[in-house]
Amino acid sequence: MRASASARAALRVARSGAARAVVARVAAAQAAPAMARSGIQARSMADKPAAAAAAAPAGPTSIEMTEDGIAIITMNDLSERMNVLNKGMMEAFEGVLNKLESDSSIRAAVLMSGKDDSWVAGADIRMLDACKSAEELATLARTGQKMMDRLAGLKKPVVAAINGFCLGGGAELAMACHYRIVSTGSKTKIGLPEVQLGLLPGSGGTQRLPKLVGIQNAVTMMTTGQQLDAKRAKRNGFADSVADPFALRDAALQAARGLADGSLKRKPKAQPLVPTRLLEGTSIGRNVLFDQAGKMIAKKAGTAYPAPMEILNAVRAGVEGGHAKGQEVEAAAFGKLGMTSVSAALRSIYFAQTAAKKNPFPKPAEPASTVAVLGAGLMGAGIAEVTAHKAAATVLLRDKTLEGLSRGEKQISGNMDKKVSRRRMTKAAADAVTSRVLGFCDGVPGWDRQLPRADVVVEAVFEDLGLKHSVIKELEATGLRPDAILASNTSALPIADLAKASKHPERVIGMHYFSPVDKMPLLEVIPHAGTSDAVVGRAFDLGLKQGKTVIVVKDVPGFYVNRCLGPFMAEAFALMQEGVEAERLDKVMRDFGFPVGPVTLADEVGIDVASHVNSFLTEHLGERMGGSDATVLRDMMDRGMMGRKSGKGFFVYGKGKGKGAKTVNPDAKALLAKYLKKGASVEAAAAMDDATIQDRMAGRFLIEALLCLQDGIIRSPTDGDVGAIFGIGFPPFRGGPFRHIDAVGADNLRNQLRGFAAKYGPQFNPPRILNEYADAKKRFHPSE
């Protein structure tokens, strides 16, 4: 039987790429898990109702009545920084529903928050940790589903007046309301980020969102954790209307009255014929859509992250089998996902990241209002950008030449323009960011007058101790305030050595950002032995204001992340010198969970940089950097193979994307053949199983992480996990190096490393701390 014309058209649309948009961002969302909820502030609404408050359920909700029968329900849990759907809130909301159902004087209701700039930030994750089985979690989900169904089934219209964060369970609550008005405030964010915790929306979200925004948009939002502002929420159908924060309450009351008396009717978003109605409006089109989306999810998320596929399955169950069937699948999947090691790891990262946002050092009385950045290169411009954008501070950006300064300013404005074009920022907001960056260079007057304003100076000049010493001396001679902090963005040089050039060494500190600064979330703060706690506290506070996850690290060569990365990369070169081909090594480590393979990483950072780091760390770590002959890197440099920046390194880089844009460099391959170890060959290496390659690579990283904990370079296993995940993309689903060791077992890892040491060399010797934990059968995270 031949397919209908509409079905054939739908198939063409799907194959042309429309369905691929559904999961285009799955990998990115999983590679860098984000906060499921976050703290923000806002103004409270004025204009109290005309009538006195009616009797209201006790707890974190209150009900006030207007004279014409509109109930204003205010959610304000005083025990929490933000409203969350915890046990107390849900019990209180049951009381609200009872009143709305039983009180005949209530014609309609408005649901709003008493919190500043937040509505409901999501469900309380602590409730999940209290559950001990998949069935308990599924029951928890069904409880939420029943509450949302009861709200959606009310005969009286309920208007959600949303200002600030409306995430996860909060978004599900909003969707169960009959009308949604979203504030245009800059802090308003709508989203279902459960996927970033290895979960799916468990209170009906997988069923209601497709009805509001369409199947493709819904799956994209839920599989990527995408968050929307008010305009995008209105455009895609989540919001029925938008309002200024000051007008939100009145707009919600007006809508409630209109819905109650019938003068206002909700109008669902009209869907375009191509591709939406062809794909989503026919059974054959939907089959094509779901099948194509499934293939894309399987390719991008793989088996490491099961949540995206479960989201798709729950959506499909509801579309094909109805609301009740969809919720049944949703609850079962919620229970199953919640008990996986993946979700446990991602939830642990969430809590660790939350803890990292609390400054354990003396917090400055006032945040830094002016920050000077020396060096307008890639790193300096990036630091200036996050300071002007996230911290909203004035930035004094200085470079030696006008050309260098212009390059840095262009980098910042270009990034802002991208945000505007992608509708992540208004043009006015972007202009405000660039206006906060004041540029200076040799020959341009004003630097001497402006420098004394700086609360913090971050130098990001070339990695040369002599140069940095001269910069510090020049700053102090030019007019740097004695109470200003002087921070270095060095990635390797000892901070104590830098401080020797300063008249105030107690105010010198390291602030090691990762490239690209505007995207990489980690900041290592490195005090030397003489740095005061007050200076550490100000540097930590500035990092938080810049949107960074901050860890404090001891002043040693390589600090923490690069110190672990050095042996890891040395093992990559060792494996290639045993005949493992570059493409295979990259693929095997991507399969392990790293966002990019180690060979590509070497090309991206530059072969010259990789060679310098290898030499530097070999000098300090000795045999721990052993196993490979790094002379191959210097030979590549001599032949102009510097990595991506020169167009060729281990790979050759063409223009564009896709196949052909990156191919194996035959010259590098021929050069590597000269460095093969005795008895090694490409053919023999092909017989090495993938797991051995992964275990050797991971083992080198884990050994150094363990030594960093043993030697007090990091303060805790949690800091080690956070640093590895947010610094270089250690697989999030593994929870970081220390949670990975807990999963493998300290004794099992020790036995494996002993075997590798006997076969490959002393670089695999187990650290003392691992032996202690293995003997005592201890875990690095004993409570998990």
Q: What is the DSSP string of 688-705?
A: S-HHHHHHHHHHHHHHHH
Beta bridge partners of 22: none
Q: What is the DSSP string of 341-390?
A: HHHHHHHHHHHHHHHHTS--SPPPSS--SEEEEE--SHHHHHHHHHHHHT
Interatomic CA distance for residues 753 and 743, integer angstroms: 16
* Number of alpha helices (DSSP H) and beta strands (DSSP E) in the chain: 34, 20
Beta bridge partners of 161: 181
Structure tokens at 290: 């779901």
Interatomic CA distance for residues 236 and 242, integer angstroms: 13
Beta bridge partners of 383: none
Dihedral angle computed from the Cα positions of residues 186, 187, 193 and 194, in that order, rounded to the nearest 10 degrees: -160
Structure tokens at 377: 């290169």
Interatomic CA distance for residues 562 and 724, integer angstroms: 10
Structure tokens at 161: 């007046």
Q: Which of 524, 571, 578, 704 is catalytic?
A: 524
Structure tokens at 125: 């994750």
Dihedral angle computed from the Cα positions of residues 126, 130, 133 and 138, in that order, rounded to the nearest 10 degrees: -50
Is-catalytic flag, 581?
Answer: no
Structure tokens at 750: 């020790």
Burial of 510 (0-12, 13-18, 19+ CB in 10 A): buried
- Residue 595's identity, in one-letter code, is P
302 touches 30 (CB < 8 A)? no
C-alpha 350 chain-centroid distance: 10
Interatomic CA distance for residues 489 and 471, integer angstroms: 13
What are the CA-CA distances from residue 674 to residues 409, 482, 688 (Å)? 45, 56, 20
Closest CA to 176 of 153, 199, 200: 153
Structure tokens at 152: 């959606």
Interatomic CA distance for residues 43 and 404, integer angstroms: 42
For residue 640, the 8-state DSSP code is: T
Element at 782 (helix H, strand E): none
73 three-state secondary structure = strand
For residue 515, the 8-state DSSP code is: S
Interatomic CA distance for residues 164 and 34, integer angstroms: 17
Q: Which residues are catalytic?
A: 524
